[in-house]
Structure 1
Amino acid sequence: MVNRRRGERELVLGERRFRLCLTLGALAELEATFGVDDLASLAERFNTGRLAAQDVITILTCAMRGGGHEMSEAEVAALHGPDGVSPLVEGALAALEAAFGVDAPNPPQAQTG
C-alpha cells in the first residue's frame, strides 16, 4: 500500500502494482538527466504541459527506483498493460504532481492525438 503523505503513488498494470515516489535522489537523477541546475528549473521544465514518450520513461524509471523497484529504462519502456500506455503516462504525471504539488499553475497533461 502506498503512503500518499510521503509522495508515493501507485501504478497498476493488470495484476502488477508498482509504488512510485520521486525521492530527493530521484529528483537529483531527473535534474542530471534533463540538464537543469535546480528543482525550480526541473519543475519549470515539466510545467510546459507537454511530455515526450522518453520523458515518461525517464520519470517513471526514477519514480520506480524511488519507490523501491530497481528497473532500467529499457525495462520501464517495455512495460504495458491491458489499458495501453495511458496508465503509464498517468503514473508519470501523478509522480510529478506528488513531488511538485497539485497547485502548480500548469501541471503537465497527457497529450492525445
Structure 2
Amino acid sequence: MANPLKAEIDIELDKSYKARLTIDAIMQIEDRLGIGIIKLVNNLQTMEIRVSDIVTVLTPALRGGGNDFQEADVKKIVAKTGIIKSTEVMSRLLVESLAAEQEEDAVKKEEQ
C-alpha cells in the first residue's frame, strides 16, 4: 500500500506498483524532456505526448516507489500495458504528485 504522507501512490500498469515523484525525479524529467513539468501536464491535455515521454516519467516514478527498474524494464511494462493506459497512468501520477506537493506547501505555510 502506498504512503500518501510520502506522496506515494499506487499505479496500475501490467500489475500494481508503488510510485513516487521526488523533486529530484521531477528535475530529471524536466532535463530529459527539455520542458517544465507543468508544460508536460499541458501537453497531456492536448495529446502532444510521445511514448518516450511516458517512459521518461514512469522510470524515476517507479524507482521512487521502491522498484528496481531500468529504462528497458519500463519500456517492456509500457509495451505490455499499452500506450493509452500508460498515458492515463502517467497523467494521474503527475496530477496527484503535483497536488500532493501543493498540499504539503500549504501545510508548511500554516505551520509558520
TM-score under structure 1 length normalisation: 0.69
Relative to structure 1, the CA distance from residue 69 to residue 86 in structure 2 (aligned partners, 3 Å threshold; closer, same or farther) is: same
Which position in structure 1 is the counterpart of 2:28?
Answer: 29
Which position in structure 1 is the counterpart of 2:42?
Answer: 47
Q: Which of these two proteins has the greater Rg computed from alpha carbons? A: 2
% identity of equivalent residues: 26
TM-score under structure 2 length normalisation: 0.70
The question of whether the paired residues in 1 share the 8 Å contact of 2:20 and 2:64 is answered with yes
List structure 1 runs of 4+ shifted beyond 4 angstroms: none
Which position in structure 2 is the counterpart of 1:61?
Answer: 59
Q: Which amino acid aligns with 1:2?
A: A
Matched, 1:7 2:1: no
Relative to structure 1, the CA distance from residue 87 to residue 3 in structure 2 (aligned partners, 3 Å threshold; closer, same or farther) is: farther
- RMSD of equivalent CA atoms: 2.2
> Which structure has the higher relative contact order (CA within 8 Å, separation 6+)?
1
Q: Distance in 2 between matches of 1:31 and 1:10?
A: 23
Shift of 1:45: 3.0
Q: Distance in 2 between matches of 1:54 and 1:17?
A: 21
5+ residue gaps, structure 2, are: 101-112
* Structure number with higher helix proportion: 2
5+ residue gaps, structure 1, are: 103-113
The question of whether the paired residues in 2 share the 8 Å contact of 1:11 and 1:18 is answered with yes
Instruction: Name the SS for the 2:28 alignment partner.
Output: helix
Q: Which amino acid aligns with 2:21?
A: L
